[in-house]
Amino acid sequence: MREIVFDTETTGLSPAGGDRMVEIGCIELINRVETGQVFHAYFNPERAMPAEAYAVHGLSDAFLAAKPRFAETVAALIEFIGDAPLIAHNAGFDFGFLNNEMALCGQPAVCPTRMVDTLAIARQRHPGAKHSLDALCTRYGIDRSHRVLHGALLDAQLLAQLYVELMGGRQIGLGLDAAVIEVESVSVAAASRTAVIRPARPHSASPAELARHAAFVATLDDPLWPAAPAAQATG
C-alpha cells in the first residue's frame, strides 16, 4: 500500500485571510516503510513573511524571492502524490493550505477522503496526553534533536516515523518476499525427496520375553489377568 506523509510551512494560519504555503515536504511509504522517495519544494508566496511565521520556520522574504511559484511546481507535486492517502499532523490545516494553492492555480482540490490525521489518531490512542509532534516524538523515542526550527521535509520525516509507531510499529510494514517463500518451499520439497527412510523399529515382544512374562504371571496369587496362551507364549 502506498501512502504519502506530508507537512507544510506557511506565512500564517489562514488561507482565507491571504496566507500562503511556502514549503511542502512529502515522504513516500510502501507498506508503511520509507522508500527513500521524497518531494520537497519551496514557493514564492508573492507576499511578505510576517515576523511571527519567520520565527517558526526561518524562511525569509529574501530566501523565498528566488523560489518558483506554486503553479510552476504543481504538476510535479500532483504526479508524486498520485492517488495515495495523504497523512499529516492536524491534517485539516495542511489540506486547507494545499487546496487553497490548488484553487489559486486552477487545479482541482485534493479530495478530503484521502486525508489521514495523525493528530486525531494520537488523541484516540492517548487521551489527555500532549499531542504535539514534539511531545509524541518524545513518547515514542523518536530522535528530534536536529529539529531547531520547523521545516516541512524534516517534520514529514519525523511524522513518517511517528505514524508507523501510532499504527502499531515497524513490524506492520514487514512482509515475506514471494521469491524467498518459493525458494524455501523448493528446498523443503527437495529435502523431502532425498530423505533417508529408516525401517520401523520392532514393537512386538519376542518369544523369550513372552515366556518370561508367562512364568512371572504363574507366580502370582489370583492374578487379574490369565496367563498368556501357550501358542502366544511360544510364538
Residue 122, helix vs strand vs coil = helix
Amino acid symbol at 21: M
Residue 115 has φ and ψ, to the nearest 5°, of: -80, 130
Residue 48 has φ and ψ, to the nearest 5°, of: -75, 150
Angle (CA) 103-149-12 rounded to 5° is 35
- Residue 155 labeled ligand binder: yes
- Rounded to whole angstroms, the Cα distance separating 31 from 33 reads 6
Write out the three cell numbers for 29. 511509504
- Residue 34 labeled ligand binder: no
- Residue 57 labeled ligand binder: yes
Q: Does 150 qualify as catalytic in the annotation?
A: yes
- Residue 52 labeled ligand binder: yes
Q: Which of 40, 131, 146, 150 is catalytic?
A: 150
Whole-number Cα distances in Å, 184 to 6, 173, 189, 190, 192: 39, 21, 9, 10, 12
- Residue 213 labeled ligand binder: no
Residue 228 has φ and ψ, to the nearest 5°, of: -60, 140
Three-state SS string across 25-89, please? EEEEEECCEEEEEEEEEECCCCCCCCHHHHHHHCCCHHHHHCCCCHHHHHHHHHHHHCCCCEEEC
The set of catalytic residues is: 150
Annotated binding-site positions? 7, 9, 52, 57, 155
Annotated binding-site positions for a divalent metal cation? 7, 9, 155
